[in-house]
Structure 1
């Protein structure tokens, strides 16, 4: 049994991950801005504060915290919050771990496939490819650099570049599951997705199997926005309208943030499979049926 400290533990992935970790007899503590339960402890990035009790005897830190990419329009202030909520929080963790001389067995951080840039192409991206040059790529580069401070300080470090996380309640799937399902834009953009159970098991693998390095945390099933929408409609017995939501309308509604809806490339899952991860939900149809 290990003691694991999770940031972002009250979020969509954090809740499910905590549930599975506890089932596997691990001890879980959560850093929260507003702690409510006995396993939750206060932290405040703006004032560089972490309740030191949370870090006592910690074996692993899982860093999931970060302001949502898709909740609000990308104003200048929102962009800075998206970066700081990931980077400054990791910097704070690093400083406190050093200050308190915590000997971690591992630091595990979320990242995103936005690292490769947000555009549609025929290329299949692998972990050694260069980063993109748009806003999301900038976020991911800074996010990962902050996490890699731990590696440079001789702490085993794992980074999971995640795509769209599919869950039964909440998240992207709930927003896509409209009364009439239709593609967005021309529907040719790829959607890199992963079932929440597979994602959580990857984090657990980093704890239980000495699983270190940078990995694409996405399923090995390439789907375009159109093919994804068709399968979702069929799975939920809903009508599918082939004519997509016009790109111009999405740009008016969401501004620059619309790029995450209208663009998307394929990302390889081969590295994580070669490192002995066996997907429970490798095909979209199976994942959607499970989440119905």
Structure 2
């Protein structure tokens, strides 16, 4: 396939692009970086370079300003929103201008769509949207992407949880603390984190790309979410380090403001639609992932 990718130079995008190349696909990557084109990869810096998308079979849209890196001032919230909506709107417009548009549009979202959930059950893609900033951000992002849907194009929305990998993402920020024995639970530790290995995240995108029946929203999370307290203990055990520290909720809220909800919200999510469609996860539980795949972090 000929595939256009936005966000192809980040933690997830870099590995995804390499896997797509390995499978024989040809990529055009939207990036502001000056990179040397490879045999199967070309780069562009502006979607204005395209009149339409007729030359592509699929589009994968992962672009967006990192949500956790900076305080959520009004200005930063607008930047987070614009970085997602502007590119998605431009892509939708190009879909509409195409006589033969790409057959598949895979567009990013996040489990922040759901906000803080209850403790009585596990939640799937039928769960309603939350009401706080991350939820409204994801909702607008998804609604924009769905405008590309037509009889010629199917749209898949990927609601991504915490992506784990040894060389980046959330663990890159956590590991230094744990290696120095400064790890610990956040708040009361009862909140569930919806996580997924980077390898499974990439495999789910490839699954959605190749499964012509797939469309709509998908939770890109492992089948088994984990409480923050258990996450803390299992990561500490894998690193053979103590993890006795505890950061109270009020300190997280004081230090991080609204961003603290990304760490404290309870999200016992399951990837129901992926499981229903036959996707097979390689990593079902965090303990199995850490012990079998993540030995390099030691």
TM range, normalised to the smaller chain? over 0.9
Q: Which moved more, 1:188-197 or 1:244-253?
A: 244-253
Q: Does 1:175 align with 2:173?
A: yes
Q: Which residue is equivalent to 2:89?
A: 91
In the TM superposition, residue 207 of structure 1 has moved relative to its aligned partner by 1.7
Note if contact 1:31-1:54 (Cα within 8 Å) is conserved in structure 2: no
Q: C-alpha separation between the residues in 2 aligned to 1:83 and 1:124? A: 29
Q: Which residue is equivalent to 1:226?
A: 229
| Cα 1:152/1:76, change in 2 over 3 Å | farther
In the TM superposition, residue 249 of structure 1 has moved relative to its aligned partner by 1.9
Note if contact 1:190-1:265 (Cα within 8 Å) is conserved in structure 2: yes
| Cα 1:66/1:94, change in 2 over 3 Å | same
Note if contact 2:225-2:270 (Cα within 8 Å) is conserved in structure 1: no
Q: Does 1:67 align with 2:69?
A: no
Structure 1 unpaired stretches of 5+: 44-48
Q: C-alpha separation between the residues in 2 aligned to 1:215 and 1:175? A: 26
What secondary structure sits across from 1:183 in the alignment? Answer: strand
Q: Which residue is equivalent to 1:42?
A: 45
Q: Which residue is equivalent to 1:46?
A: none
Q: C-alpha separation between the residues in 1 aligned to 2:67 and 2:120? A: 25
Deviations 1:34-78 (A, max 9, x none): 3423221112xxxxx432289461110000001111000100011
Q: Which residue is equivalent to 2:101?
A: 103
Name the count of aligned residue pairs.
Answer: 285
Q: C-alpha separation between the residues in 2 aligned to 1:215 and 1:127? A: 6
Note if contact 1:233-1:239 (Cα within 8 Å) is conserved in structure 2: yes
| Cα 1:79/1:107, change in 2 over 3 Å | same
Equivalent position to 1:191, from 184, 193, 212 = 193
Equivalent position to 1:141, from 126, 130, 139 = 139
Q: C-alpha separation between the residues in 2 aligned to 1:152 and 1:55? A: 14
In the TM superposition, residue 271 of structure 1 has moved relative to its aligned partner by 2.1
Q: Which residue is equivalent to 1:281?
A: 283
Note if contact 1:111-1:159 (Cα within 8 Å) is conserved in structure 2: yes
